[in-house]
Chains A and B, each alone.
Chain A
Amino acid sequence: AIRMTQSPSSLSASTGDRVTITCRASQGISNYLAWYQQKPGKAPNLLIYAASTLQSGVPSRFSGSGSGTDFTLTISCLQSEDFATYYCQQYYIYPRTFGQGTKVEIK
């Protein structure tokens, strides 16, 4: 199975900050990558697919980039509602696999 490794595992930031989360695949996955946001007690929410395409309804402060093995999720101006855990997921090959998650906390 393809292993997805996110970094950092957690980070502290303030509202208004620019935040970048990275995700590395153990083998090339082209652009078959999605990013999700999950808040406590809630289901995950799809933010980005195809590495850089914003899902409908997702604010434009979220952006994704990368191809092959290295990907990034950027939040350009962190808002209070963005404090959550973020996951990358590859869908290049089965089984689909998630990264271990990055928790974004309030500084």
Chain B
Amino acid sequence: EVQLVESGGGLVQPGGSLRLACAAVGFTVNSNYMGWVRRAPGKGLEWVSVIYSDGTTYYADSVTGRFTISRDNSKNTLYLQMNSLTTDDRAVYYCARDLVLAAGGIHVAAFDIWGQGTMVTVSS
């Protein structure tokens, strides 16, 4: 079964750091396009970041310079390092995998597999 299991959420003070982890089961992280999406309480979904199989990364303007997406191939795990956190970063964070069509291996930049989400609270 293909699934993503997140961990690492919790309570952190403003200005602090946190690293989220997302373990993949049933497929390899480094050969897929992987990303993060968040949803703040009472708000909608916000795209955060993506890492391509070749290591190329992209970020939302709101997190550029503060967040870093990475992966550990030996652990088959995706990470999101979050620094200089503010109360605006409070949200449920989801890791997800981009869709790759079985026919032709075409990459579609839409997330078809999602983790269960992990809550990040930024508060003093």
Residue numbers of A with Cβ under 8 A of B are 1, 32, 34, 36, 38, 43-46, 49-50, 55, 85, 87, 89, 91, 94-101
Contacts and interface: CB of A to CB of B under 8 A. Distances in A.
Contact of A43 (B44, B50, B60, B116): B116
Interface string B94-122: 10100100000000111110111100000
A91 B112 contact: no
B110 A98 contact: no
Nearest to A45: B114
B64 to A, nearest CB: 9
B92 to A, nearest CB: 9
Interface of B: 37, 39, 44-47, 50, 58-61, 94, 96, 99, 108-112, 114-117
A104 to B, nearest CB: 14
Nearest to B4: A43
B45 A91 contact: no
Nearest to A4: B44
A34 B44 CA distance: 15
A97 B44 CA distance: 11
Given A1-B61, A44-B37, A96 B47 contact: yes
Contacts of A44: 37, 45, 94, 111, 114
A98 B47 contact: yes
B94 A43 contact: yes
Nearest to B94: A43
Nearest to B50: A96
Contacts of A55: 99, 112
B110 A95 contact: no
Contacts of A34: 108, 110
A1 B58 CA distance: 13
Given A49-B99, A95-B60, A95-B61, A36 B45 contact: yes
Interface-central residue, B44, B94, B112, B115, by most chain A CB under 10 Å? B44
